[in-house]
Structure 1
Amino acid sequence: MNPRDFWLIVLVMAIWGINFSMIKLGVSELDPLLVAAARFLCATFPIIFFIRRPKVPWRHLIGYGLVFGTGIWGMASCAITFGLSAGMASVLLQLDVLTTVLVGVLLYRETISRRMWSGIAIALLGVLVAIVYTNGNVTPAGVLFILISAICWPLAGVIVRRSGTQSAFAFNIWGMLFAPLPLIGLSLLFNGIDVLEITYRQWHAGTWLSVLFQAYPTTLFGYWVWNRMLLKYPMSQMAPMTLLVTVFALASGYLMYGEQLSPAQWASCTAFLLGIALVLYRGPLPGKPRTPLSTDKGTA
């Protein structure tokens, strides 16, 4: 990997890490589902008018919008609203690596090596310790929502793979077209129609900053760069870079909100990320090159 590409990827990892703190900025006082809906509206319009629709069935675009918009980022926003710190949200969302492995085994009969089993065990132990020794930055509701988000990551990958798209960027843009309505519908279902007026009255400059950061640097710029790099470098080289997202997320959470981990959580997060790294660094099986389902964090 040449130095220019390396530092460009690091920049994107920094943006995605800071994104968790920017989500917190937007959802601290407002409904997280409506804030997420605004994110995808801004990310979709007006750029969709300049991007040709990928030649895939509509059901794949609709399914992707639902899983990606509501399942991943709607639930991740809810996790932060319900007490999960921005830094811990980024750490626990790495559980998507484990759920991706599970989907690969169930749907594609992929094999789990001994190194991967070791990594999974270490990562799960780290999660358990982080939850037990919380200093208020981890809540049961937050963990539940982030787990749903992590489960939806590989499902989004399945949809992209089955669509057969040749343009991941265009697929993402057109898929996001179907993200806002389910998010708004869920918000109305749980909060009633008054939530629209309340959100309108309480919307402020910080909310706009949150939404626009999520829509443009995070989603459009980040995903554009990520896809370009995926065309140049193998996923086995790219996927471990996503661990930097957690580093930047923990740093931004501390700088913006004074978020801190307990000593036990520092140890547990280190163990967790070590376990994830063992899973990501697994080598191909003899005579059977590995084709990862989706460790794509480019849709942060």
Structure 2
Amino acid sequence: MTFKDACLGLFVMFIWGINFSVIKLGVSQADPLLMTAIRFTLATMPLIFFVRKPDVAWRYLVSYGVLFGVGVWGMASWSITAGLSAGMTSVLLQTNVIFGLFIGYLVFRDRFTIHKVIGALFAFTGLALSLMATDGTITIKGVALVMISALSWSLVSTLVKKSGTRQPFAFSIWGMAFAPLPLLLFALSLNGTDIITTTINSWNGYTTFSVLFQAYPTTVFGYWVWNRMLVKYPLSTVAPVNLMVSVFGLLGGYLFYGEHVGALQVISAAMILAGVLIILLKPGNTFLAARLAQWRVRKVSDQKV
């Protein structure tokens, strides 16, 4: 990866990390599902009129909109209003990689390797530790919602892969166009029509900033850069960069809201991120494996001499 692309990728991770604090700013004033619906409306309109529809079946675009809108970001935003801190939301959302292991095994017949099992054990241990927190950064309802979000993210990745699209940016723009309506209907089914009046009355400058930040820097710019990097570089090179989202997420929660980051949260986050990193990195790509391979080559050469 070039230095320029590495810096650009890190900048996007910074945006995505503090986005959880920005979400918290918005959902403290408005309904999380309605706010997410407005986010995706702004992200797709009027951009969709300038982006040609990708050459995939409509069912993939509709499914993407529902899963990505309601499943991923609707649930993630709701988890924050349910008491989960912005920082821990960013960390626990990384468990989507763990769900991806099982989906990959069931759908694509991917094999479970030793390093994947070890990584999963690390991540599950970190998740268990996070549930032991009693300092207000974790709630059972919040964890349940963010787990639905993480599972949905894995399903979204599977959906995109199954669609066979070669136009990831166009796919995301057209797919997100199907997110607002399900989000609106879900919000109305949970809270009734009064939620619209309540949201309008409580809307202020902070909510506007939150929605605009989520729509444009986070969604349009962020996913344009991310998809561009996925096309340009191998997944094993790009995916580990995503772990920086949690670092910036924890930092943002601490700086903007004074969210407590105790020893238990640090250990929990470290184990989850370490587990995800172990899963993402192929053994053959690690520094240790490369050094070991070089040592074996030299040993064989010396024996021949």
Match of 2:58 in 1: 58
Gaps of 5+ in 2: 286-305
CA distance in 1 between counterparts of 2:246 and 2:14 reads 9
Cα RMSD between the aligned structures? 1.2
CA distance in 1 between counterparts of 2:134 and 2:272 reads 15
Corresponding position: 1:153 with 2:129: no
Point out 4+ residue stretches in structure 1 off by more than 2 angstroms: 282-285
CA distance in 1 between counterparts of 2:232 and 2:166 reads 15
Amino acid at match of 2:134: T
Match of 2:302 in 1: none
Amino acid at match of 2:281: Y
Matched length: 285
Residue 240 of structure 1, CA deviation = 0.4
SS at match of 1:132: coil
CA distance in 1 between counterparts of 2:248 and 2:40 reads 23
Match of 1:260 in 2: 260
User: Does structure 2 conserve the Cα–Cα contact (< 8 Å) formed by 1:53 and 1:171?
Assistant: yes
**1:13-66 Cα distance to aligned partner (Å, 9 max, x none):** 000001111111110131100000010001011111111111211111111000
1:256-295 equivalences under 5 Å are 256-283=256-283
Identity of aligned residues (%): 50
User: Does structure 2 conserve the Cα–Cα contact (< 8 Å) formed by 1:65 and 1:179?
Assistant: yes
CA distance in 2 between counterparts of 1:212 and 1:271 reads 33
Judged with a 3 Å threshold, the aligned counterparts in structure 2 of structure 1 residues 71 and 284 are, in CA distance, closer, same or farther, namely farther
Match of 1:188 in 2: 188
CA distance in 2 between counterparts of 1:40 and 1:137 reads 28
CA distance in 2 between counterparts of 1:220 and 1:125 reads 35
Structure with larger Rg: 2
Match of 2:222 in 1: 222
Moved more, 232-241 or 155-164: 155-164
Amino acid at match of 1:12: V
SS at match of 2:131: helix
CA distance in 1 between counterparts of 2:130 and 2:154 reads 24
Using the size of structure 1 for normalisation, the TM-score is 0.93
Residue 283 of structure 1, CA deviation = 3.9
Match of 2:298 in 1: none
Amino acid at match of 2:137: N
CA distance in 1 between counterparts of 2:84 and 2:6 reads 31
User: Does structure 1 conserve the Cα–Cα contact (< 8 Å) formed by 2:115 and 2:283?
Assistant: no
Match of 1:290 in 2: none
User: Does structure 1 conserve the Cα–Cα contact (< 8 Å) formed by 2:48 and 2:174?
Assistant: yes
Match of 2:107 in 1: 107
Corresponding position: 1:43 with 2:43: yes
CA distance in 1 between counterparts of 2:282 and 2:142 reads 30
1:30-179 equivalences under 5 Å are 30-179=30-179
Gaps of 5+ in 1: 286-300
Amino acid at match of 2:261: L
CA distance in 1 between counterparts of 2:156 and 2:272 reads 23
Residue 284 of structure 1, CA deviation = 6.9
User: Does structure 2 conserve the Cα–Cα contact (< 8 Å) formed by 1:134 and 1:262?
Assistant: no
CA distance in 1 between counterparts of 2:186 and 2:192 reads 9
Match of 2:299 in 1: none
CA distance in 2 between counterparts of 1:159 and 1:4 reads 31
User: Does structure 2 conserve the Cα–Cα contact (< 8 Å) formed by 1:135 and 1:261?
Assistant: no
Residue 275 of structure 1, CA deviation = 1.2
User: Does structure 1 conserve the Cα–Cα contact (< 8 Å) formed by 2:29 and 2:207?
Assistant: no
Identify the structure with the greater helix proportion: 2
CA distance in 2 between counterparts of 1:108 and 1:58 reads 22
User: Does structure 1 conserve the Cα–Cα contact (< 8 Å) formed by 2:20 and 2:90?
Assistant: yes
